[in-house]
């Protein structure tokens, strides 16, 4: 069976050797030594000043909305994972969708200003498949209208834009360390922020609001990463070069196979050093997608329809038309991409797709 992704796991004994340090101390959560060490190593590796490791990639979005005291309307993208929109709605705000650019799949920055009202307090945009939004233009708009900017950078581990970590942009950026991601902690995530006062607020929000063991700064929730998760992250760090190299080889194979075919691939924004996180192909119609998907499934190959449906169609929201997002969502398919895919497997995937375009 060939799935859309496969979790990269280090040798089990290496994970257990790191975890033994927590085991011996009996300290399994509440920001133990492994989580703190992982944060330090990731800050150095990624080139960021402040980060908070968390237990998943959704709580950072919710905590950012809470800590920034956002109310009213938040402008966002309809083409993302459901957590982007549901986090806004969960925190009592109203998501206001702005359509996407079909070539980059990110929010169309030229349409943001028209969506701003006197109730707008922030822009929450997704760097889709690790492809940056129009960061410079969004920053100009945010300053003009005094809006906060949160980037859902769930797919962006290792991405740089203008030679800076993608996590250094916006008021807050978030990342997922879910097991499907190229760097993971089994389940996990992180929050990034350069402003020290905001960072301190975000920090206490993720730890029940504690100010020491017996007093509280304010409202908080439990989003702490455990030592088991920290150990997994630490055990993966030595393999990052291998992970990036192997994923790039898969993408190079796909690019060569599909360069003259009737499908579109992701256009990476200029000045970006991408991370080879996903391989989406946009087919000519949903009918072709369903045909290709069915043929692949017969051969035990399971791509995935990221992201379907377009989020403006979520049942708990009032529907508004998003032409580009709905069209792309109906015919985009992410192909298998992970360390360990063989040349024969890739050749079969490409052959089946090309024969059924």
- Among residues 160, 146, 120, the alpha carbon closest in space to that of 272 is found at 160
SS3 sequence of 39-89: HHHHHHHHCCCCEEEECCCCHHHHHHHHHCCCCCEEEECCCCCHHHHHHHH
CA separation for the pair 177, 191 (Å, rounded) = 11
- Among residues 250, 211, 243, 257, the alpha carbon closest in space to that of 341 is found at 250
Tokens of 60: 């950072």
Q: Residue 159, CB half-sphere, CA atoms under 13 Å: how many?
A: 31
pTM of the model: 0.96
Q: Residue 157: phi, psi to the nearest 5?
A: -55, 120
Question: Where exactly are the structural domains of the chain?
Answer: 2-238, 240-355
How many other C-beta atoms are found inside a 10 Å radius of the C-beta of residue 7?
Answer: 13
- In this structure, are residues 95 and 70 in contact, taking their beta carbons and an 8 Å threshold? no
Tokens of 272: 């970006």
- In this structure, are residues 176 and 57 in contact, taking their beta carbons and an 8 Å threshold? yes
- CATH of 240-355, picked from 3.20.20.10, 3.90.1150.10, 3.40.50.150, 3.60.21.10, is 3.90.1150.10
Contacts of 117 (CB under 8 A, 6+ apart): 73, 96
Residue 138 has what pLDDT?
A: 98
Residue 213 has what pLDDT?
A: 84
Q: What is the pLDDT of residues 218-268, one digit of tens each?
A: 889 999 999 999 999 999 999 999 999 999 999 999 999 999 999 999 999
> Average pLDDT per run of 10 along the chain, which is 357 residues long?
97 97 94 97 97 98 98 98 98 98 98 98 98 98 98 98 98 98 98 96 94 87 97 98 98 97 96 98 98 98 97 97 98 98 98 97
Q: How far, in Å, are 74, 200, 249, 279 from residue 310 at the CA level?
A: 17, 35, 30, 18
Q: What is the pLDDT of residues 193-203, one digit of tens each?
A: 999 999 999 99
- In this structure, are residues 294 and 72 in contact, taking their beta carbons and an 8 Å threshold? no
Beta strands in the chain (DSSP E): 2-3, 51-54, 73-76, 94-97, 120-126, 148-152, 160-161, 164-165, 172-176, 189-192, 264-265, 272-273, 280-282, 301-302, 332-334
Contacts of 319 (CB under 8 A, 6+ apart): 312, 313
Residue 214 has what pLDDT?
A: 85
Considering the domain delimited by 2-238, tell me its CATH architecture: 3-Layer(aba) Sandwich (3.40)
DSSP state of 128: G
- Asked if the domains at 2-238 and 240-355 fall in one CATH topology, the answer is no
Q: What is the pLDDT of residues 175-184, one digit of tens each?
A: 999 999 999 9
């Amino acid at each position: 069976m060939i799935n859309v992704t496969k979790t990269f796991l280090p040798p089990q004994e290496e994970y257990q050797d790191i975890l033994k340090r927590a085991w011996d101390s009996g300290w399994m959560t509440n920001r133990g030594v492994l989580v703190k060490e992982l944060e330090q190593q990731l800050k150095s590796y990624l080139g960021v000043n402040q980060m908070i490791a968390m237990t998943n990639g959704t709580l950072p979005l919710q905590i950012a909305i809470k800590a920034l005291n956002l109310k009213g309307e938040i402008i966002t993208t309809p083409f993302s994972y459901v957590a982007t929109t549901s986090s806004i709605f969960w925190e009592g705000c109203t998501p206001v969708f702005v359509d996407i650019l079909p070539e980059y799949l990110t929010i169309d920055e030229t349409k943001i200003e028209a969506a701003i009202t006197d109730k707008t307090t922030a822009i929450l945009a997704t760097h889709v498949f690790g492809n940056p939004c129009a960061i410079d233009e969004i920053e100009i708009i945010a300053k003009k209208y005094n809006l906060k900017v949160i980037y859902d950078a769930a797919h962006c581990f290792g991405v740089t834009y203008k030679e800076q970590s993608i996590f250094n942009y916006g008021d807050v950026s978030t990342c997922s360390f879910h097991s499907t991601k190229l760097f993971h902690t089994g389940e996990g995530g992180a929050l990034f922020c350069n402003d020290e006062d905001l960072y301190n607020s975000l920090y206490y929000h993720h730890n029940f609001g504690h100010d020491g063991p017996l007093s509280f700064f304010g409202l908080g929730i439990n989003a702490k990463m455990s030592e088991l998760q920290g150990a997994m992250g630490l055990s993966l760090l030595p393999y990052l070069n291998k992970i990036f190299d192997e994923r790039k080889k898969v993408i190079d194979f796909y690019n060569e196979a599909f360069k003259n075919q009737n499908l579109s691939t992701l256009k990476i924004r200029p000045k970006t050093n991408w991370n080879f996180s996903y391989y989406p192909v946009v087919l000519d119609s949903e009918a072709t997608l369903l045909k290709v998907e069915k043929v692949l499934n017969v051969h035990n190959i399971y791509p995935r329809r990221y992201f379907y449906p377009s989020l403006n169609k979520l049942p708990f929201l009032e529907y508004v038309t998003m032409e580009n997002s709905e069209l792309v969502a109906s015919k985009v398919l992410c192909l298998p991409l992970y360390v360990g895919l063989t040349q024969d497997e890739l050749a079969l995937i490409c052959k089946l797709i090309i024969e059924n375009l």
